[in-house]
Amino acid sequence: MIKNYLRYAVATAFVVASGIGNVALAETELEAAGTAGSNDSFSSAQPLVFVEKIEVVGTIGALDKATRTPISDIDFYSFQGRKGDVLRIDIDGGIKTTSDPLRSLDSLIAIFKPDGTVLRQKNDLVLTSGEVVDDGSLSRFDPWMEQILLPATGKYFVGVTSDARYSNGTMRVFLDQGSTAGNGNDGFVPLSTSNGRYTLVIERVPAPTLQISIDIKPNAKSITTHANEHGKIPVALITSDEFDALKADLDSIRFGPPNGTGTTGRCNKNGANLLCHFEKKDAGFGEEDTEGMVTGTMIGGTPFEGRGWLKVIPVGKKD
């Protein structure tokens, strides 16, 4: 911790003196490669302190390609976030070239609110919806999440682990308080991309559009929906100091996957918030989507957007 705070102080002084606002700090996961357990829970999460950007080199389990039995591992990191901050979280270098002596890692990432509930999570990029493989990555299996609005000041947690897709079509997901779920094995499969080294990048970014908090399926224990199924999905638009949901132009509000056109819905006042209901079959979600996005404008024309995670289940699957 002393090392982290010294770096924070030096970086802050540099930002003030130079006017440069995107100073990247470099950290290494404290857990040794080939082991697990030292940062596998919120209570033992490795603390990070950064001004604008930090890069952490970490390892899920084993590095050697010859290691047949992978280690079941989840890495957690914590940091202090401020209400209204907008972040980008990215995995780089997980998937490697065939000539690289180190194992490739197909990763799953998530950020958790101070109360331990999942704020956003991502496993694979959805290239068909316009997401692109960014610099530092070779594959859509190195996920990134952007425009992450922090709803409160407090300690946030970021989790990194192995992604998995099971025989019944469901995928591995993070649950509230940091556990994971998925039918079948636990996602750590011999001779697979379930262990390997990665670089985690967390950075504060400017928001080109007013970012708002949304709650998909409020009060639901499982944020799931079936692709193209009939029925409605409720989404709450949350009022904050920067956003008055009751002053939104109701005709402008749309919901669907990021980069999609989405669909309009029916919105009603719910206390200080808006509760909108959208037709599932019109929203345009596909089986690979893991986020829902609300867009709209305020009365007067100011645009806004908000994102939340959801799990899309193929039609006909029960779990």
Instruction: Give 311's pLDDT tier (boundaries 50, 70, 90).
Output: confident
**Greater model confidence, 166 or 306:** 306
Do both 53 and 177 map to the same domain? Answer: yes
> In this structure, is residue 319 part of a structural domain?
no
| Residue with tokens 């390609």, as numbered in its chain | 65
Do both 145 and 49 map to the same domain? Answer: yes
Among 160, 186, 204, give the residue marking a domain's end: 204
Q: What pLDDT sits at residue 246?
A: 97
pTM: 0.83
Do both 191 and 216 map to the same domain? Answer: no
Range of the domain at 116: 2-204
Report whether 157 contacts 200 (CB < 8 A).
no
Burial class (CB in 10 A: 0-12, 13-18, 19+), 315: exposed
Number of domains in the chain: 2
Q: What pLDDT sits at residue 71?
A: 93
> In this structure, is residue 112 part of a structural domain?
yes
Instruction: Give 10's pLDDT tier (boundaries 50, 70, 90).
Output: very low
The number of CA neighbours under 13 Å toward the Cβ of 209 is 18
Provide the CATH number for the domain around residue 304.
2.60.40.10
Q: What pLDDT sits at residue 250?
A: 96
Amino acid identity at 122: K
Do both 32 and 131 map to the same domain? Answer: yes
- The per-residue pLDDT for range 54-84, each reduced to its tens digit, is 999 999 999 998 888 899 999 999 999 999 9
Do both 199 and 258 map to the same domain? Answer: no
237, pLDDT greater than 90 = yes
Question: What count of residues does the chain have?
Answer: 319
Among 204, 231, 256, give the residue marking a domain's end: 204
Query: Average pLDDT for residues 285-309, to the nearest whole number?
Result: 91
From CA 46, how far away is CA 231, in angstroms rounded?
Answer: 42
The average confidence (pLDDT) of the chain is 86
- The per-residue pLDDT for range 15-54, each reduced to its tens digit, is 333 344 445 699 999 999 999 999 999 999 999 999 899 9
- For the chain, percent of residues with pLDDT exceeding 90: 66
Report whether 161 contacts 171 (CB < 8 A).
no
Provide the CATH number for the domain around residue 64.
2.60.120.380
| Residue with tokens 């930002």, as numbered in its chain | 15
C-alpha distances out from residue 223 to 4, 76, 216, 217, 308, Å: 36, 22, 7, 6, 10
Burial class (CB in 10 A: 0-12, 13-18, 19+), 180: middle
DSSP character for 230?
A: S
6, pLDDT greater than 60 = no
> In this structure, is residue 67 part of a structural domain?
yes
Do both 170 and 214 map to the same domain? Answer: no
Tokens, residue 203: 């950075």
Do both 73 and 115 map to the same domain? Answer: yes
**Greater model confidence, 225 or 48:** 48
> In this structure, is residue 318 part of a structural domain?
no
